[in-house]
Amino acid sequence: MNSSHELFCKAKQFIPGGVNSPVRSFNAVGGDPIFFSHGKGAYLFDVQGKSYIDYVGSWGALILGHAPEKIVLAVEEAAKRGLSFGAPTSAEIDLAEKISNLMPNLAKVRLMNSGTEATMTAIRLARGFTGRDKILKFNGCYHGHVDALLVKAGSGLASFGIPDSAGVPKVVAEQTLSVDFNNLEQVTQMFMHYGKEIAAVIVEPIAANMNCILPLSGFLDGLRELCDYYGSLLIFDEVISGFRVALGGAQEIYQVKPDLTTLGKIIGGGLPVGALGGRAEVMDCLAPLGNVYQAGTLSGNPVTVAAGLATLEIISQPEFYSELNFINEKLLSGLLELAKDANIGFQAHHIGGLFGFLFSNKAEVYNYQQVKSANHILFKEFFHRMLAEGIYFSPSAFESGFISCVHGGQEVDFTLAAAEKVFCKLKEQNLVPA
């Protein structure tokens, strides 16, 4: 049987960097990525048979854990009837209706194949609806690999985007303004200078692509007010937070109404999916009704739709999110207490089935610069030592962690026991700054 190292060497011969998505490469933490053979419940199993408690969950898609019986059955039954038709089905209506009914501000929904497709379309739709070109985003918020949104974090008033990836034309990036998350003053200044040119503000209401940073009080409300005043659209990127932090997403928790919402991950039950929803008058600008074009050969395919419908049915059950939050709270409060006992600077945030932690002595972390200034060397040590104990956290300090409904007290207790051992070793070996 090939080891992960052997498979990674082979993969690099045929796949750029040996992976099909960069964070999987372990570049952020060093070493070789783990190659997995299968998953069940809260556990992943590598190609050599070692088990790991999984807190990545396919980057948040698996809120029911690995291979849940009802989802597997739904997929099997759908696959028997056909994998894809490239034509309408009644099931995709059911999924769109279900999403619209559960999320508070989605009058109409268009199904797609990825979160990137959803944000790309949201930007195009906002520009088409408003007749404006500029987009305002936030430093550290990732919205998929869309040219207009792959810009380097800027600062100050003149923070026009600089391409953060080769291949992004400067003229495209220059249409993107970037300011600090949770800094309403910077947003206000941008609107004062470019308000009539800004088509939309796009934001992760919970910034889950720079660890797990929660919005400060009044921040999201302030964005809504500024967009209303200047006639810009407010886009919530809830690809991660949608159906993860609450049944109605972050917009349910914070009671702020976006014009458009992007979704993904959970609504596909573990299969590739994306969705865009929002105000009817805006959504109706999409072709074939309007002149904003979007299309997808596999959009609304019956297998993904079946998995998504079965997932949404389960997570709609009473107490689902209260139980998810209970387990999450037990895990994160336990980690905080253990770090405190070891005199290790440690920050953690959690909400619903989403969490993040980093090594920092700051009293509060609420923006990208503060996340970047955390102790990433210590994170790498912690990650690899926990991995050796059979705990699989996200292999980057900038990524969130995820709880599923099949994570229980047994998994949390095992994780905390491992963390206690690792924290003590870090302290004993003088790897923790005094």
Q: Which amino acid is at 405?
A: C
Residue 434, classed as helix, strand or coil, is: coil
As annotated, the active-site residues are: 142, 237, 265
Q: Name residue 36's beta-bridge partners.
A: 46
DSSP string, 229-245: HHT-EEEEE-TTTBTTT
Question: Which CA distances in Å does 138 have to 47, 59, 211?
Answer: 39, 21, 14
Residue 350, classed as helix, strand or coil, is: strand
Q: What is the distance between the alpha carbons of residues 7 and 27, in angstroms, rounded to a whole number?
A: 16
290 with 82: CB under 8 angstroms?
no
What is the chain's Cα-based Rg? 21
Sequence-distant (≥ 6) Cβ neighbours of residue 98 within 8 angstroms: 309, 312
- Name the burial class of residue 76, with classes exposed (0-12), middle (13-18) and buried (19+) by CB atoms within 10 angstroms of its CB: exposed
Q: Output DSSP code: residue 337.
A: H
Residues 347, 351, 352, 355, CA torsion sign:
negative
Q: What is the distance between the alpha carbons of residues 141 and 229, in angstroms, rounded to a whole number?
A: 24
Token pair, residue 421, equals 């051992």
Q: Which amino acid is at 180?
A: D
